[in-house]
Structures are given as structure tokens and as C-alpha cells.
Amino acid sequence: MKTAYQLALAIIIVVLGYFLYESIMEPIRFQKGKDIRYEATIERLKSIRTAQDAFRSRFGKYTGSFDTLIDFMKNGQIKVVKQIGSEDDSLAVARKMVFRDTILVNVCDTILKGYPYDSLKFVPFSGGDTFELSAGELKTQSGISVKVFECKAPNKVILKGLDRQEIINMDDLAKKLDKYPGLKVGSLTEATNNAGNWE
């Protein structure tokens, strides 16, 4: 009889120990998974910002379409100012052999060279979900019109497959702090110089 009690007590201790271990490890696993996904998503958002800046330098505005942006990155051209001769060469300067020329170069050969452009619109680790991309124009308080864009993904997409309650807790905290519950770059409501909300 005594042995049965000891065996039952040992089983209860093992089960309680397992649940205690899991309650400690679950937030640690979530944080590790979140960090990996956030890092990959931030890198993708930085690439989107670079592509949008190149698009704006060519067309004077941002695009709200990933298809347009990706096509531009694959097939578009940008203007580059090329200097012929050296301004340090006084003889060449005196003979007017130093000048600047504007040429068109392929975007794919200069910006994000070798990047898999087709993946720009997809949120990493999401299984195919895409970022939300918008572009527009904003009037500043001084009355100046500013071209803006915004690209974002909510936590429920970025962290898909991780602990649901932890995601809900993160979103609630972000809403209480009046912040976007996820990652985004740029803004349609304020001139942020295309900063990311992680910066």
C-alpha cells in the first residue's frame, strides 16, 4: 500500500514538474520565434523601402501596387549622373574635358542586385500572406504636399503558428500604447521620412 502511494506521488511530482517546465519554456520559445520572424520581416520591409525610394526617384511618387513595384525592380531603369574625367585633374578641367552626363541604368543591376524581387510582397514565415501596401499624398501642417507610402503586416500574420494568447497579449499592449500591432514602414497619416515602427 505504501509503495502505491509513493508511486502515485512520484507520478504527480513528475506531471507537475512537466507543467511547471512548460509554463516557463513556452514564453521563452515564443520570444525566440518572435525574434526570428521580426528580424526577417524587418529586413523585408527595409528592402521594400529601398525599392519604393528607387521608384519615387524615377516617377516622383510611390506605388501602392506590388505588381508595379516588382515589375519596376525587374525591368525598370533609373537615372544616374556619371562624371566623365576627374575634377582633381586641373589640365582636364581647363580643357573642359570634365563633365557630367545623365544615363539610364537597369534597376536590377544597381538596387538590391540579385534580390529575389518576386518575394518582396510576401511576409516571411507566413505561408504566402502578403504585406499591405498603400501610397498617397499627405498635406503637412505647413501646407506642403508630401508623397507617402505605407507597408505593414499585423502580428497575427507575422507570428502565424506561434502561441495565440501571446499574440493577443502583444496586440493588446500595442493598442494600449496607441501603436500599430505589428510591423510597418512609412505612414499614410504622418510624414515619417519612411521610418519603420521598429526604429
pLDDT in tens, 89-114: 666 556 666 666 777 888 888 888 88
DSSP letters spanning 87-111 = TT-HHHHHTT--EEEEEEEEGGGTS
Residues of the chain with pLDDT under 50: none
Which residues does 160 contact at the CB level (< 8 Å), separation at least 6? 125, 126, 127, 129
Specify the pTM.
0.79
Please give the span between the terminal C-alpha atoms of the chain, in angstroms, as a whole number: 65
Phi/psi for 171 (5° steps) reads: -65, -40
What angle do the packed helices 66-75 and 2-59 form, to 10 degrees? 60
pLDDT in tens, 159-180: 999 989 999 999 999 999 999 9
CA gap 99, 28 in Å, rounded = 60
Domain ranges of the chain: 36-186
